[in-house]
Chains A and B, each alone.
Chain A
Amino acid sequence: MAEIGRFETLGPMALWLLIAAVSIVVRLLPLGNEPGWPMPDVLLALTLAWVLRRQSHLPAALIALVFLIEDLFLMRPPGLWALMVLLGSEFLRRRESVVRELNLLFEWAMVAGVMLAMVLGNRVLRALVVTPNDPLLPALAGLLLTILTYPVVVLVLQGVLRIRKPATGEVDARGRRL
């Protein structure tokens, strides 16, 4: 029984790692996209949506590690954005039981607020240690795009990857309530 339980967690975890790796590699590829164009941070939206559905799939340490690697590869200040993602995902993880009863619209608003707070925290910390910040407008446009892609990511997550909010009374392989 224990092996099955572990596998049920490890499978989606590996899937998330694979998606994260692909997302980082795609951004590294020399595809010649214009530097001025903001892109939605799909990995962030996916991670937050995932944490709100099955938090046991994504341990906090793994989230921190993946986003730290993303920081390193995308030439951002190492650790800062990873810290923000860690705090944001932990905030949502605590409120999973609240979000479980909300419909998508409220969940969306909540996630949008968390993302905004993360971006602001990022900028404030950078300003505090006098590091050059990204230009404001593209950063906000990127945030807006990420927020707009969030429902799409949720639909894909539920429809294609079959990661849903636990139904009332649903139990895992070891018979514990989710």
Chain B
Amino acid sequence: MASDRSNEADYVRPVRRLVIGVLALVLLALFLIWRIDSPRIERFRTAIIDAVVPNMDWAMAPVTQVARMVEDFRSYARIYEQNQELRRELQQMRAWREAALQLEQRNAQLLDMAQVRLDPQLTHVTGVVMADAGGPFRQSVLLNVGARDGIVDGWAVMDGLGLAGRIAGVGERSSRVILLTDSNSRVPVSVQPGGQTALLSGDNSPAPVLEFVESPEALRPGDRVVSASDGGVFPPGLLVGEVALGADGRLRVRLAADYGRLDFLRVLRSRPAEVIEQSGSLLRPVDEAGRPLDPATGLLAPPAEPDLAPDAVGEPAAPVAGGAQDG
């Protein structure tokens, strides 16, 4: 047979055709099943990729290294441009530094003039992040300082720059920090130029949402957000981040803390703010021992009658050294 290209047996061609048909049907069925029940097939796909891709580190490592070297080499080629660019930036930075120095001096002068007393009790303990105990739904890290170091639940935790979270759970030698991005995190903040207070509530996304803002139209992206002392959770005035408008149109906060590199965290020792519970009471003269004097006579007042006599007249009371609170 001239047309018989190969010396296949007669049964080979139909069987072959059948096999191809079955293969095609299987593939088509797989595609249709994927279309109907996508999550199951996607799980299957993820399982396969999970099984294979981590084993390919040995293949990835040299290639990524080479790619990085190529990238570096390219940046060599642009070295002149980069130099120019850096010079320009340096120039601008100098100007900013000058401005910052002047502002710092001015701030110091003003604080001095106003005799502002900064809270001296804001000291900190620095801990090392041991583990990232978070998953997709829990954003928390473990610190290597605990009750042994005097850590107390609820203290604020910062990285070098901004607020990172608060202590939630203290062990003897470790403590858990719940980050601002966790969906359980609610922190009172105030937005700086206007001083509006709001609630910063995490939603497991990198940028937490600003909630309960009184007039959102007054906020602008880029405004500074600092912590507020409402509710006594945090010491006021810690930098949190800046306002940003999320893709979903909600006001969010771009955090100042670098969540990609949480290595060292400092826990701020905050004492509970002293609460002034009593209203002011009447001022009256006392003697050296602190016993109340009768203002009319300048003599020791009878203890049974602490109130001023309404009909007391005569020489005014001798000037006393200082009023003291009664009782």
Chain A contact residues, CB within 8 Å of chain B: 25, 28-32, 60-61, 64, 68, 72-73, 75, 77-80, 82-83, 86-87, 90, 96-97, 125, 129, 131, 176-178
Residues of A with C-beta under 8 A to B48? 72-73
**Besides A32-B67, A75-B45, 4 new A-B residue pairs in contact (Cβ under 8 A), listed by A number:** A73-B48, A79-B26, A90-B20, A176-B7
Shortest 10 CB-CB contacts between residues of A and residues of B: A79-B30, A83-B27, A79-B31, A79-B27, A80-B31, A129-B35, A72-B45, A64-B23, A82-B27, A176-B7
Q: Render B31-66 as a binary contact track against A, CB cut-off 8 A, 1 for contact.
A: 110110000010001001100110010011001100
Q: Is B35's CB under 8 angstroms from A77's CB?
A: yes
Chain B contact residues, CB within 8 Å of chain A: 5-7, 19-20, 23-24, 26-32, 34-35, 41, 45, 48-49, 52-53, 56, 59-60, 63-64, 67
- A97 CA / B1 CA spacing, docked (Å): 15
Minimum distance in angstroms from B25 CB to a CB of chain A:
9
- A68 CA / B5 CA spacing, docked (Å): 31
Minimum distance in angstroms from B238 CB to a CB of chain A:
37
Q: Is B27's CB under 8 angstroms from A86's CB?
A: yes
Minimum distance in angstroms from B317 CB to a CB of chain A:
86
Q: Is B24's CB under 8 angstroms from A131's CB?
A: no
Whether A78 contacts B41 in the complex (CB less than 8 A), given A31-B63, A90-B20, comes out as: yes
8 residue pairs bridging A and B, Cβ less than 8 Å apart:
A60-B23, A61-B23, A73-B48, A80-B27, A87-B24, A129-B31, A129-B35, A178-B6
One of B24, B29, B31 near A125 (C-beta < 8 A): B31
Q: Is B56's CB under 8 angstroms from A78's CB?
A: no
- A78 CA / B48 CA spacing, docked (Å): 12
Residues of A with C-beta under 8 A to B28? 79, 83
Q: Is B34's CB under 8 angstroms from A25's CB?
A: no
Q: Is A73's CB under 8 angstroms from B49's CB?
A: yes
Residues of A with C-beta under 8 A to B7? 176-177
Minimum distance in angstroms from A170 CB to a CB of chain B:
12
One of B19, B30, B35, B64 near A61 (C-beta < 8 A): B19
Minimum distance in angstroms from A70 CB to a CB of chain B:
12
The residue on A at minimum CB distance from B71 is A32
Q: Is B35's CB under 8 angstroms from A68's CB?
A: no
Whether A29 contacts B64 in the complex (CB less than 8 A), given A72-B45, A83-B27, A176-B7, comes out as: yes
- A146 CA / B183 CA spacing, docked (Å): 48
